[in-house]
A = this chain, B = another copy of it.
Amino acid sequence: MNKTLLTDLYQITMNAAYFDNQKDDTATFDLFVRKLPQDWGFFIANGIEDAIDYATNIQFQEDDIDYLRQQGMFAEEFLDVLADFKFEGEIHAVPEGTPFAPNTPIMRVTAKRTQAQFLESALLNTINFQTMVATKANRVASAAGDAKVVDFGLRRGQEEDGAMKGARATYIGGAVATSNVKAGKEYGIPISGTHAHSFVMSFPTELDAFRAYVKTFPDNATLLIDTYDTEQGARNASIVAKELEANGKKLGAVRLDSGDLGDLSIKVREILDEEGCDYVRVVASNDLNEYKIDDLINSGAQIDGYGVGTEMITAKPVAAISGVYKLVEDDGGAKIKLAPGKKTYPGKKQVYRVDDEDGDYSHDILALDGEEVQGTPLLELVVKDGQRVSAKRSLVDIREYAQDCVAKMPGTVKGVRAAEQYAVETSPQLNSLVDELTGRYAHQDETSQTRFQ
């Protein structure tokens, strides 16, 4: 899947102008996220594997060049250059699934300026979305605790890729399954599904509908019990469960999808237990998010699993995070930006993760590349001379890695309303460089090389 033309026009116009002006020195760009959304304590890096695939497969097709020619903006000489254009530089990135703080690079690209600049739009499109959804899912799964979270987001995802890459990101973040069959097939995510209210309404009675469903799925089925009256639905489910038992089969769960989920779950649990169906789980759905799940658990809800749709797959109301891609160094030296709220740390950098005495994560140190600093470096070389040099990780490995990492994050940065943001310190050499550049540029006039208004 070639995404080469999935770029902002200005990447190509800048490229053309660099070409005309013979400006193609080596430049380094950092990809980082400026700011955590309210209540979030960290991000989980995602979309890294897709980003590597993108960067290592850039190739304008003949019809792409034809299309650009038709715009009447570009010289033939430049279009010839584009036909051979590819990424030949190097990329460092944190492993997909790594928790991280704002303003620390999760990807660092060093290449000829035209090549490094060109990656911006598509890298951000992929990494912004997947990072947002993996983190949102982790918040939801954390709130759910021992209860399982399943992605129900397909119908509200922002188009096919949003639902597909979103399902993958929710799985990495902590969901255990998805309702999205295509995501199951393409990524190997476990799939999960029950039936709709319309199924119940298609039979003369709810009991008829339940019997019809378990006729096909006699083992481990989930029955939706709120089409008419939830408590009666629980009793009907119990009847079916006992009929299944008589045949050596077991009903899996009942699902609530409306009303006061906490209160109903307690009543339904009681009914199921009274009827001897203590093995039948109670699962719930209906516009859930991490806050509602947290409230349900705090109110004593008896819910074993949650189906979460709209708000997990779109990260509503966040909807987008502030990932950016900024020039930090070129042949003219390190670059800094000092605008309030738009700070950029200069130079080629590395992020070091520092453990506490228990082996959990204490904080990160943002340092210059090569600087001697305590901790474990997070940015790894993944692309060299335009070729992938890191092994492609399996989804299961990424998920396990992400879950292990999150387990080591400080308690203060977790939870539905994180008390703190994951801490980052800057290193002595980076501080010196910032001071030097700040001092140097502060005295320059408004045509200086640095943007700091």
Contacts and interface: CB of A to CB of B under 8 A. Distances in A.
B320 A5 contact: no
A279 interface: no
Interface in A137-191: 152, 154-166, 179-182, 184-185, 191
Interface stretch (A209-217, A353-361, A372-380): A209-217
Interface residues of A, number: 113
B120 A155 contact: yes
A322 to B, nearest CB: 8
A106 interface: no
B20 A154 contact: no
A185 B216 CA distance: 47
A277 interface: no
Interface in A199-221: 199-207, 212-213, 215-217
A16 to B, nearest CB: 5
A96 interface: no
A453 interface: yes
Contacts of A215: 17, 20-21
Contacts of A154: 6-8, 121-122, 124-125
Interface string A313-353: 01111111001001100100001000100100000000000
Contacts of A122: 154
A128 interface: yes
A317 B316 contact: yes
Contacts of A316: 317-320
Given A9-B192, A71-B191, A314 B310 contact: no
B195 A14 contact: yes
- Most B CB contacts (10 A, CB to CB) among A18, A156, A230 go to A156
B17 A212 contact: yes
A90 interface: no
A440 interface: no
A158 to B, nearest CB: 4
A150 to B, nearest CB: 10
Nearest to A117: B198
Contacts of A195: 10, 13-14, 17
A451 B197 contact: yes
A450 B8 CA distance: 51
A361 to B, nearest CB: 29
Contacts of A193: 8-13
Nearest to A12: B181
A127 to B, nearest CB: 10
A394 interface: no
Closest 3 CB pairs of A and B: A9-B193, A316-B319, A159-B161
17 contacts: A3-B160, A5-B185, A8-B155, A10-B179, A13-B213, A17-B199, A21-B216, A67-B184, A120-B155, A120-B196, A157-B158, A158-B158, A159-B166, A197-B451, A228-B448, A228-B451, A232-B446
Interface of A: 3, 5-14, 16-21, 23, 27, 29, 63-64, 67-68, 71, 73, 75, 113, 117, 120-122, 124-126, 128-130, 152, 154-166, 179-182, 184-185, 191-207, 212-213, 215-217, 226-230, 232, 236, 258-259, 310-311, 314-320, 323, 326-327, 330, 335, 339, 342, 446-453
